Amino acid sequence: MPSAHRFVNDLTTPALLLDVDAFQHNLSVMATRLPGRQLRPHVKAHKTTALAQEQTKHGHDTFTCATIREIEGMAAAGLGLDLLLANEVVDARRLGAVVAAGIGRVTLAIDSDETLDAAVAGGVREVVIDVNIGLPRCGCDPADAGRLADRARKAGLSVRGVMGYEGHLMMVVDPTEQREKVEASMALLLRAHNDVGGELVSAGGTGTHIVNTWATEIQAGSYALMDTQYAEHNEFAFRQALSILGSVISVSRDTGSKGWAVADVGLKAQGMDHGLPTIADASVWFCSDEHVTFAPAEPVHFGDRVRVVPAHCDPTVAYHDRMWLVQGDEVVDSWPVDLKGW
Amino acid sequence: MPSAHRFVNDLTTPALLLDVDAFQHNLSVMATRLPGRQLRPHVKAHKTTALAQEQTKHGHDTFTCATIREIEGMAAAGLGLDLLLANEVVDARRLGAVVAAGIGRVTLAIDSDETLDAAVAGGVREVVIDVNIGLPRCGCDPADAGRLADRARKAGLSVRGVMGYEGHLMMVVDPTEQREKVEASMALLLRAHNDVGGELVSAGGTGTHIVNTWATEIQAGSYALMDTQYAEHNEFAFRQALSILGSVISVSRDTGSKGWAVADVGLKAQGMDHGLPTIADASVWFCSDEHVTFAPAEPVHFGDRVRVVPAHCDPTVAYHDRMWLVQGDEVVDSWPVDLKGW
């Protein structure tokens, strides 16, 4: 019961926290930088329709999704004005059902004859051609994009444009080097767009949202929450809004330079693909299923609360059923993480 | 609806699969090696009461848990005969409620005066003294165990013995080296047990279940499912029972030595703390939120199903709501993963 909690320290741990001030700061910064439909926020980062609703208040009413479940949930929540599934699917019937129900406009990425056929068979009416621009993942060869678009139109589909994802360039920290590499990737996408047509050149992410000036819309998601990896990009001016509240459950006898403490934030409360989380004024040693062992700079005590900042927000959020909105030590609201699963 | 699925290829992907033959093999091998109460299966590995029910059929009726939620769920499922929470907690009231309701016997690990006080305040009646035997995590100094036990008994608690976890030795592959190191760790636990008394010397895990001949019971969990990391221990003779079914959604033009394919099994379908998953006859390149990119030895095609074996089963299971029991290509049953959360 959200209303039963007034203070952070009353929460059962581990608990996913959203720092409201940092979150609103991030949304404001992004809405100034990429207003309106220059940003198509990616919901995979937060999987939370209430959070997407906040993004609409900042002027973004089109969204990017990674799973069919995210499309269904966004449409059911009344956020289906213009949803892009930026991913390929084998069976598009659940997407066709969203369109047929009149609750969402769904545009599906296709990168092959088979995905084109799946779109038609599933009752999807609008597509973008997904083009490989350097990341070895989905996307057709740029030279094949025009042919696919022609075939899609002949099959009765509306082709809204192209998309690509320069995911291999998100973590290039030097802005000049990153801009050059993004420009080369986007040249491939623009060449494909020349063959395909349509109003959309959809690309990018939080890591390239400033340097990618060629896309008509940026698919950034992490900017709303931020994680420790993107924090290296100081020029973004985003703040860490996401953390996991834990309780200290054990303290070794000497919590100075030779000792450690343990909190109840383990592998099942956070994604680990980008490495260890961080804790302010502490060195994190390792995580176990339900523990994080860390060396605090100053002694901590049994029952103390700690905020653990995950290295990667997306797979962290996907472990939790609810996020708690906090201002300082006060819990002001909570949102269900309602777009989980597939 | 489980009954609607007859074949693996009918499942929506990604889907968590339990190979019934491999699973039953693993349970039989373990029940022969550590019959009855020589094993206290750890439910954190599978978080599934239906799976624990199968473990009782193999003669194990005592269980180890890592979270309060696991204790509550096991008790509610009628599996509360003898539950050990092998972890420290700040607030033990929900455990006391299980005891008061008469649905479960709960024994709680304590490693400090504060955890002792929490046990008493929460209405827990039975404890074990958790002793640090080398892993920098929870557990008191071995020399402090007797004092804690005395204080616990004076506070009205029943002290059932000691526990320790030689987690730092699970991955020592050489049996001789592992045995020597486990013996040294267990010497610390036996010394503490000498001071504490009680019938339980609870320790170990799948990685040390053969060499640890000093514990009265072993807290192994992974043996039922297995993951790629423990598979290095050939002498265990366990089989990989857990995998994640995916669908091939994209194939690069050349799927030979220069090409790749993509399946829909990403970071939100598996724990990544132990590294990349494996796919038979393929080289796994990397995982994204909803993708695994891999180079197959033989060409694969759009829509093909692949089985992805996670490097670490525990945090993988925690991402899924249901596991599907399969024999070959047939789905024979499904179980809810009903012990998730905290």
Task: For Cα atoms B12, B13, B19, give the angle at the middle one, nearest 5 degrees.
Answer: 95
Binary contact (B137, A262; C-beta < 8 A): yes
Read off the pLDDT of residues B207-222 as tens digits, 9 standing for 90 and up: 999 999 999 999 999 9
Quote the Cα angle for A288-A292-A296, to 5°: 150
Locus of tokens 């007797």: B146
CB contact under 8 A, B90 and A12: no
Q: What integer pLDDT is reported at residue A235 of this predicted model?
A: 85
Whether the complex's predicted ipTM surpasses the cut of 0.90: yes
Please provide the DSSP assignment of A271-298 as one string: --TT---EETTEEEEEEETTEEEEEESS
Residues B165 and A284: their CA atoms lie apart, in Å, by 20
Determine whether the interchain pair A13/B272 forms a contact, defined as Cβ–Cβ distance below 8 Å. Answer: no
Peptide bond into A277 cis (omega under 30): no
With beta carbons under 8 A apart, name residues in chain A contacting B87.
249, 264, 290-291
**What pLDDT was estimated at residue A180?**
97
- Asked if pLDDT for residue B201 goes beyond 70, the answer is yes
**Residues of chain A contacting B272 with CB distance shorter than 8 Å:** 271-273, 315
Condensed to tens digits (0 to 9), the pLDDT of residues B284-303 reads: 999 999 999 999 999 999 99
**Could you tell me which chain A residue has the CA closest to the CA of B250?**
A138
**CB contact (8 A) between residue A267 and residue B341:** no
Task: Tell me the C-alpha distance between B36 and B61, whole Å.
Answer: 7
Q: What is the pLDDT along chain A (342 residues), one digit of tens a residue?
A: 445 568 999 999 999 999 999 999 999 999 999 999 999 999 999 999 999 999 999 999 999 999 999 999 999 999 999 999 999 999 999 999 999 999 999 999 999 999 999 999 999 999 999 999 999 999 999 999 999 999 999 999 999 999 999 999 998 988 899 999 999 999 999 999 999 999 999 999 999 999 999 999 999 999 999 978 777 777 899 999 999 999 999 999 765 556 899 999 999 999 999 999 999 999 999 999 999 999 999 999 999 999 999 999 999 999 999 999 999 999 999 999 999 999
pLDDT at residue B256 is higher than 70: no
Percent of chain A clearing pLDDT 70 (strictly above): 97
Question: How far, CA to CA in Å, does B139 sit from each of B153, B190, B191?
Answer: 18, 14, 14
Mean pLDDT, range B124-131, rounded to an integer: 98
* Chain A partners within 8 Å of B71 (Cβ): none
Bond before B299 cis per omega within 30 degrees: no
Q: Smallest CA–CA separation between B76 and chain A, in Å?
A: 20
Q: Is the pLDDT of residue B258 over 70?
A: no
B159 φ/ψ angles, rounded to the nearest 5 degrees: -100, 110
CA distance to partner chain B, nearest, from residue A79 (Å): 22
Average pLDDT, chain B: 95
Measured CA distances, A230 to A234, A239, A269, A275 (Å): 9, 10, 20, 13
Strands A242-251 and B330-336: unpaired
Distance CA A97, CA A76 (A): 12
The pLDDT, as a whole number, for residue A1 is: 46
- For the segment B47-103, what is each residue's pLDDT rounded down to a tens digit? 999 999 999 999 999 999 999 999 999 999 999 999 999 999 999 999 999 999 999
Give the list of residues 6+ apart from residue B146 with CB closer than 8 angstroms, or none: B192, B195, B196
Distance (Å) from the alpha carbon of B176 to chain A's nearest alpha carbon: 26
CA distance B247 to B303: 6
Nearest CA in chain B to A112: B250
In chain A, which residues have their Cβ closer than 8 Å to the Cβ of B267?
271, 273, 312, 314-315
What pLDDT score was predicted for residue B255?
52
- Element spanning A127, H or E: strand A126-130
Query: Taking CB atoms and an 8 Å cutoff, what residues of chain A touch B264?
Result: 87, 342
- % of chain B with per-residue pLDDT over 90: 92
| % of chain B beyond a pLDDT of 70 | 97
